[in-house]
Amino acid sequence: MLIDTTNEKIFTVSSITHHIQTIFKEDPLLNNITIIGEISNFKYHSSGHMYFVLKDDKSQIRCVMFRGNSFGLNFEPMDGMSVKAKGEIRVYEKRGEYQLYVSQMLEAGKGALFAAFEALKEKLKTEGLFSPEIKKTLPRIPHKIAVITSPTGAAIRDIISISLRRFPNLHIIVVPALVQGDGAAEQIADNIDFLNQVLPELDFIIIGRGGGSIEELWAFNEERLARAIYASRIPIISAVGHETDFTISDFVADLRAPTPSGAAEMAIPDKESLVKHLLLLQGKVNQFMGHNLELKKQKCQNLVESLKYQSPMNKILQHMQTVDDLYNRLKLNMKHILTINENIFTKYKEKIITLSPKSVLSRGYSICLKMPEREVVKNIRQIERDNQIEVIIQDGTISANVSGKEEIKNG
């Protein structure tokens, strides 16, 4: 819209921007143009649209590639990549900025910065600066740390806020430094060397900054800084950019954090959680000690009982009991033997009594003795006429003189 005031022509911002847009649309060169350049500050929006900058060593142009056009890509765009972008240049009237609306894009090779990044990465990897074996371990509960970053950036505010929220007793030393541009890498490296000399007791050092393009993060891709990190006796955490950003510092450092706030989350323990965990461990230790004490007590009681059982007095008592048992068994056996012998004796006694001469005499028999020898007369041939004999009967003896004898023939 044109506003006439006296002799001058005055335009509104929107009207002049629209006029410039018309000029762009009427220029055939700008309606179908292919531009080659290096991608920088690439952003992939959740809507599917891609926003980035194409640049060379002297200039840059903003670009947008809408979701419908990005479906045809056969590669994944990223910072440092050299591409050929085809489209039309228009004015984004809301901001008054011209930009390339990309309809097609082809990969043209890696950009100079990306190629330098890959070359240094390969060189340092070959030298062993990325080796996992040399990574230093961070303490579980740090007491004093240092942060090397811009004192005015969001990174330091995030680190301090999260660290003190998680562990209020932490001592944080902020070491100001440039984080982009000329001299930034040297300044960060010098600060690392300085802290190793004057504060070797530090638990670890965080170096980092917020996200940005590959140019803005380039200080963390320089060899001077990489070798300072490698030489540091104090563990180093690299917290540069966003989660998808990787720098040489990330590979050399003892720990890589995806973001500055992520460094605080990873390296600073949560005091409240630690206290709860310690209380839980204390309860488990007390439970274990109580259980172990009961086991030891029971074991001691078992040992006391075992010692009582194995004591000399107990053995003597056991032997005495054994003697008593043997004595009782002997008595029983002797009684049994006596009973058996007594029965045998009684039988023999009865038999002897039955077979004794006196018993025989009581049944009407007598015993004849030849006198004076008192020899028992068993057959007739022992006696002659006029021999003196004595006949024993049940209730006395009879003396007689043999007047004759008569032999009885068997058969």
When pLDDT is cut at 50, 70 and 90, the band that residue 110 belongs to is low
Instruction: Classify the C-alpha dihedral 127-133-138-144 as positive or negative.
Output: negative
pLDDT above 90: residue 392:
no
Q: What is the pLDDT of residue 405?
A: 82
Nearest C-alpha neighbor of 52 from the set 44, 60, 42, 61: 42
Q: How far apart are the first and last CA of the chain?
A: 188
SS3 state of residue 282: helix
SS3 state of residue 154: helix
pLDDT above 90: residue 186:
yes
When pLDDT is cut at 50, 70 and 90, the band that residue 377 belongs to is confident
Q: What is the pLDDT of residue 382?
A: 84
Residue 40, both tokens: 């920088």
Residues 264-296 pLDDT 10s:
999 999 888 888 988 999 989 999 998 888 888
Return the CATH superfamily for domain 2-110. Answer: Nucleic acid-binding proteins (2.40.50.140)
Residues 7-60 pLDDT 10s:
678 889 989 888 888 999 898 999 999 999 999 999 988 888 999 999 988 899
Look up the pTM and report it. Answer: 0.55
Task: Note the helical H segments in 128-213.
Answer: 154-166, 184-198
- The CATH number of 116-269, from 3.30.413.10, 1.10.1060.10, 3.40.50.261, 3.30.1330.10, is 3.40.50.261
Contact 54, 82 (CB under 8 A): no
Average pLDDT taken over every residue of the chain? 88
pLDDT above 90: residue 205:
yes
Residues 298-331 pLDDT 10s:
888 888 777 766 777 777 777 788 888 888 888 8
When pLDDT is cut at 50, 70 and 90, the band that residue 366 belongs to is confident
Higher pLDDT, 303 or 262: 262
Strand partners, 101: 64, 88
Enumerate the CATH 3.40.50.261 domain ranges in the chain, comma separated.
116-269
pLDDT above 90: residue 146:
yes
When pLDDT is cut at 50, 70 and 90, the band that residue 3 belongs to is low
pLDDT above 80: residue 1:
no
pLDDT above 80: residue 244:
no
pLDDT above 90: residue 238:
yes
Enumerate the CATH 2.40.50.140 domain ranges in the chain, comma separated.
2-110
Which has the minimum average pLDDT: 37-46, 188-197, 238-247, 359-368? 359-368
